[in-house]
Structure 1
Amino acid sequence: MNAMDPQSATRARIADAAEALFRQIGYQKTSVADIAKACAMSPANVYRFFPSKSAINEAITQRLLNTIGNELEAIAAGKGGAGERLRATAAHLYRRDVELFFAEKRMHDMVGAAMTEHWGVIEGFIARVLAIWEGLLREGMAAGEFRSLDPTGIAMTFKQCLLLWTHPILLADCLGRGQTPEELGTQQQAALDLMLAGIAKN
């Protein structure tokens, strides 16, 4: 693995420091001056690498979503039937959302800001998830596990039906009303049972 060039290494160090502060005190309460202090540099130097705190948030969000995307692709490429792996990717995505954005509640503001200010990053991740699911659906259809359907349309339907377990704002609302992550996880499995049964080849 090649070492990062100095500029990329500094950008990564700034993002690391900012992410740690977002987790400790929250996105809204963290200033560029705080990030600069944590990096032992001046705010002006931070601005040489990122034009704003929002841009730092974009880089962190992109990094987090890339990590999750890589995990989902690894699950999709694993063993088992297509339906089993589709179910596993959906369950993993839900668990990661809870772990990253709600077990550490201060990260929720960061995600909300990213959804408002950097929709392109979020949209790119959604497209990646849809591509994973479409690939699994095509595989399942070719193997005779699923009926012959439009895999692109069915992947989008899965995404819409599973929105409750993947959208940070909807998820936060459910968890804020007293439902536990375990209860929501059980409900997601029931929804997946229904959806997979609907496309299974009889």
Structure 2
Amino acid sequence: MSKTELNSGSVRGPVDHDVRVQIVAAATEHFSLYGYEKTTVSDLAKAIGFSKAYIYKFFESKQAIGESICANCLSQIEADVRAAVSEAEHPPEQLRRMFKSIVEASLRLFSQDRKLYEIATSAATERWQAALAYEGRIRELLQDILQAGRQSGDFERKTPLDETVMAIYLVLRPYINPLLLQHGFDYIDEAPAQLSSLVLRSLSP
């Protein structure tokens, strides 16, 4: 499809979506090579073959592009975590799998593509909406597991649920937040099992 066709006022909706996907894909590749902080929208426009003004039709800033990339990465981590949790039948094992999968998925992001990891770091530092939404969904998943465990009798019910969710989330946070993850590599192998065991003992009825 030519740029003339893409700029036509008669084509909206799905075509706009396709262009956004194309820009995000190209930006992901570009950021992987050159890094997020060192890349400008002008650099992206030149690499993609669009004008800077045309890119601004779809994204209001470089951060908006970064947010889309960040959301894609975090969605993959979340999908991995949910898949791991769904493989377990009982809440205690679901919680163990949640700890293990979050650490493994976050570590993959750090080790496989350090340039894209810079975007995750910016998202955590500047509290981008994509990062906040991801953290919120992780807390919701944790709450679902805790509620199921209380209903099954595996977990205690005296502590207010929201307090328990936040306490366990804070235990997980060093492996969710990329700014903190890089400081915990010395304990990355044993941390999930030991932390989840400690949490599960605290949840005993």
TM superposition score category, shorter chain reference:
0.7 to 0.9
- In structure 2, the partner of 1:162 is 172
Tell me the distance in 2 between the aligned counterparts of 1:155 and 1:117.
24
- In structure 1, the partner of 2:8 is none
Out of 151, 154, 165, the residue aligned to residue 161 of structure 2 is 151
- In structure 1, the partner of 2:195 is 191
TM-score (normalizing by structure 1)? 0.85
Matched residue type, 1:105: R
Rg larger in structure? 2
Matched residue type, 1:195: V
Shift of 1:13: 0.9
Out of 91, 94, 107, the residue aligned to residue 103 of structure 2 is 94
Q: Percent identity?
A: 26
Tell me the distance in 1 between the aligned counterparts of 2:55 and 2:129.
23
- In structure 2, the partner of 1:123 is 132
Tell me the distance in 2 between the aligned counterparts of 1:118 and 1:14.
23
Matched residue type, 1:187: A
Aligned to 1:114, the other structure's residue is in SS state helix
Aligned to 2:27, the other structure's residue is in SS state helix
The alignment covers a number of residue pairs equal to 192
Residues 101-137 of structure 1: per-residue CA shift (max 9 Å, x gap):
3332222321122223443322211111111011111
User: Does the aligned pair in 1 maintain the 2:35–2:118 contact within 8 Å?
Assistant: yes
Aligned to 1:15, the other structure's residue is in SS state helix
Report the RMSD for the aligned CA atoms in angstroms: 1.9
Matched residue type, 2:200: L
Tell me the distance in 2 between the aligned counterparts of 1:93 and 1:188.
9
- In structure 1, the partner of 2:73 is 64
Give unmatched runs, 5+ long, in structure 2. Answer: 1-12
Give unmatched runs, 5+ long, in structure 1. Answer: none
